[in-house]
Amino acid sequence: MASFSATLFLILSVFLDSIVPIICPSVIEDLNNLKPPPDFNATITNNCINNPSLRYCNATPFDLEEIFKSTIVASHLCNISHNLNCVESFPKINLHKKPHLAPLYLSFTFFWKYCPLTITYIDISNNSLKGNFPTDIFYCSQIRDLDLSHNNFVGDVPVKNLSSLPNLTFLNLSYNHFSESGNLDSELFKRFNSTSFIHSGIFPDHSKFSFKVFLILVVLPIFVLVMVFCLCVLCSSRLDILPGCFRRRYEFTPSMLKAATKGFSKKKLVEKTSSVDVYYGILRDGTEVRIEVYNESLSREDARRIFAEGCKILSQLRHKNLVRVLGWCDTRRLRATVSEWKDGENVETWLRNANPSWKRRMKVMVGILQGVRYLNEEWPQVECDLKTKSILLNDDGEPLISRFKVDDGNNNTKRIFKFGLFILEMVSNMRPMEEVESSEAGFVQWFRLHYPQNFEKLIDEKMKMKETVVDQAKEAIELGLLCTDLSGVREQPSWDQISYVLSKSSCKALAGSDHRRYHQVDGRRKAKFLQTDESDDEIRMDPHSSVDHRRFLVV
């Protein structure tokens, strides 16, 4: 038996040394293909007679092939473990730092099942092995030293099995990832001190516990405070992410407007002047808005306060003929107002391209009158721009006043004058030139020059002219001239009188060729309009004047 084992050992040592690190599955296949020699059964029988304590002697069932393979593996394992005389003795299994071989030998259950009785030392450390505790080792119940340190074993440690090893005097399970043991009062932990379980995971790691306490008591509160701070900063710059009940109404931040306009992209810029840039934007909730960014910055706190108070007033305006102001932005680096977006064109473009009928023009004038009267009665401190380019039309053809500002005083005369200019623009499809100083006065004087003798020049030539339309247009021109009369000779008409004239499409209640007195329809107040030849001479411009009044007009 000795000569047979020695010969077989030499052959398989070379074979296993060359291929085990590379193709372990082929080694297992080769072992399975090995068959015991004819006299192997007799040899095993003699060994059992001489030493009945051998493990394979009492094996049930008695598997001769398994016993044969275990002797082959034992011979090779004894050699690579650097034992002095493997033919006579096999005291230790040393697989320290053999990460290719250690998993292979741990998989040979048939070897551990018939573990030689002479093995007292097992070292499988420093192999980074993974998986659960290798329980096949317990077949070698006679061992005195067991080292499984510096691996990656996980799961529960079989405390009861380890405690049942009577000769075990050295145990090292350090630097693994075992689960914490729920039985720390076991005999095993009394036999071996904490050096056997350093960073094994078996004992509660007080440093980890302290770290968790530090995380919970220090890091977590700091993290919460930082998150709350960041959330507050975010919410202060992006109020639109807050639920509606937490938002500050009407207030917009630069970040909100920047997000709505894609960073104030040039593609979103719809109008640009020296004082204001107008952008199209979409708010986070999908609302389409018109954003007017003012180029003039207000550094003084009182000026910013006045601007904010004015915007608060504008945001309260509610009328069908007014574009709704949704809010404003007031910071040191950005000043803007936000209003609802209307897709319709402005009246100036409408007059130029659509050639609207007199009926449609009257509808626009009446709608603007209603909006102006609302402001005059409810918000007298609010001024509005009545230029045709500032009046928008919605899908239903309803006119909308789109530009406002809050003034200190209540100048009713100025409002009536602006409305008179608007009437003249609607009739003639001409407008004052903003580039020319005093162009509004020149615009009105040009009308007075041609009215009534050459009034045909004052009516939009694109409009279809019927006799009734001509008469109504003449009356509208006379109303516009009355509204724009600032000479003091004749008193401006009241808003009630203007409403009456437009609603009836007639100026006869307001104008005459001689001295006449007109009374307000509802009888609440009387207004006198005195007209004399002398006053007419004062109002009308000299037809022979050398001033070219056409330079005040835009057709």
Span 160-196, pLDDT tens digits? 999 999 999 999 999 999 988 877 778 888 899 889 9
Structure confidence at residue 136 (pLDDT): 93
**Domain 255-340 in CATH 3.30.200.20:** yes
Q: How confident is the model at residue 218 (pLDDT cuts 50, 70, 90)?
A: confident
Each domain of the chain, given as residue ranges in start order, spans 23-83, 91-203, 255-340, 347-511
Q: What is the 3-state secondary structure (H, E, C) of 416-485?
A: HHHHHHHHHHHHHCCEECCCCCCHHHHHHHHHHHHCCCCHHHHCCCCCCCCHHHHHHHHHHHHHHHHHCC
Q: How confident is the model at residue 21 (pLDDT cuts 50, 70, 90)?
A: very low
User: SS3 for 344?
Assistant: coil
Q: How confident is the model at residue 247 (pLDDT cuts 50, 70, 90)?
A: low
Q: Kindly state the tokens that stand for 13.
A: 């040592």
Region 513-539: mean pLDDT is 35
- Smallest Cα–Cα separation from 490: which of 383, 552, 413? 413
Q: How confident is the model at residue 205 (pLDDT cuts 50, 70, 90)?
A: low
Q: How confident is the model at residue 521 (pLDDT cuts 50, 70, 90)?
A: very low
**Cα distance between residue 162 and residue 137, in whole Å:** 10
Structure confidence at residue 256 (pLDDT): 86
**Cα distance between residue 471 and residue 457, in whole Å:** 14
Residue 224, pLDDT > 80, answer: yes
Residue 243, pLDDT > 60, answer: no
Using alpha carbons, list the distances in angstroms from residue 150 to 112, 129, 181, 201, 555: 22, 8, 19, 12, 94
Mean pLDDT (the chain) is 79
Region 23-49: mean pLDDT is 76
Structure confidence at residue 489 (pLDDT): 74
List, in sequence order, the alpha helices (H) in 187-345. 187-191, 206-214, 220-237, 254-260, 301-314
Region 40-66: mean pLDDT is 84
Residue 230, pLDDT > 90, answer: no
Q: Establish whether domains 91-203 and 347-511 are of one fold.
A: no
Largest CA distance in the chain: 155
**Cα distance between residue 143 and residue 200, in whole Å:** 21
Structure confidence at residue 130 (pLDDT): 93
User: Looking at domain 347-511, which of 1.10.3470.10, 1.10.510.10, 1.20.1050.10, 1.10.10.10 is its CATH number?
Assistant: 1.10.510.10
Residue 467, pLDDT > 60, answer: yes
Span 255-293, pLDDT tens digits? 888 889 988 999 999 888 888 899 999 988 888 999 999
Low-confidence winner among 319-323, 369-373, 487-491 (lowest mean pLDDT): 487-491
**Sign of dihedral through CA atoms 180, 185, 188, 189?**
positive
Residue 535, pLDDT > 50, answer: no
Q: How confident is the model at residue 127 (pLDDT cuts 50, 70, 90)?
A: very high
Given a contact cutoff of 8 angstroms between Cβ atoms, the answer to whether 386 and 401 are in contact is yes
Residue appearing with tokens 């020049």: 457
Q: Is pTM, for the whole model, over 0.85?
A: no
Span 408-429, pLDDT tens digits? 766 888 899 999 999 999 998 8
Name the range with the highest mean pLDDT among 123-137, 336-350, 443-457, 487-501. 123-137
CATH architecture for segment(s) 91-203? Alpha-Beta Horseshoe (3.80)
Q: Kindly state the tokens that stand for 55.
A: 């493990």
Share of the chain above pLDDT 90, in %: 27
Residue 533, pLDDT > 50, answer: no
**Which residues fall within 8 angstroms of residue 186, CB to CB, at 6 or more apart?**
159, 160, 163
Q: How confident is the model at residue 6 (pLDDT cuts 50, 70, 90)?
A: very low
Q: How confident is the model at residue 434 (pLDDT cuts 50, 70, 90)?
A: low
Share of the chain above pLDDT 70, in %: 79
Span 75-125, pLDDT tens digits? 889 999 888 888 778 999 999 999 999 999 999 998 999 999 899 999 999
Task: Quickly count: other Cβ atoms within 10 Å of residue 347's Cβ.
Answer: 27
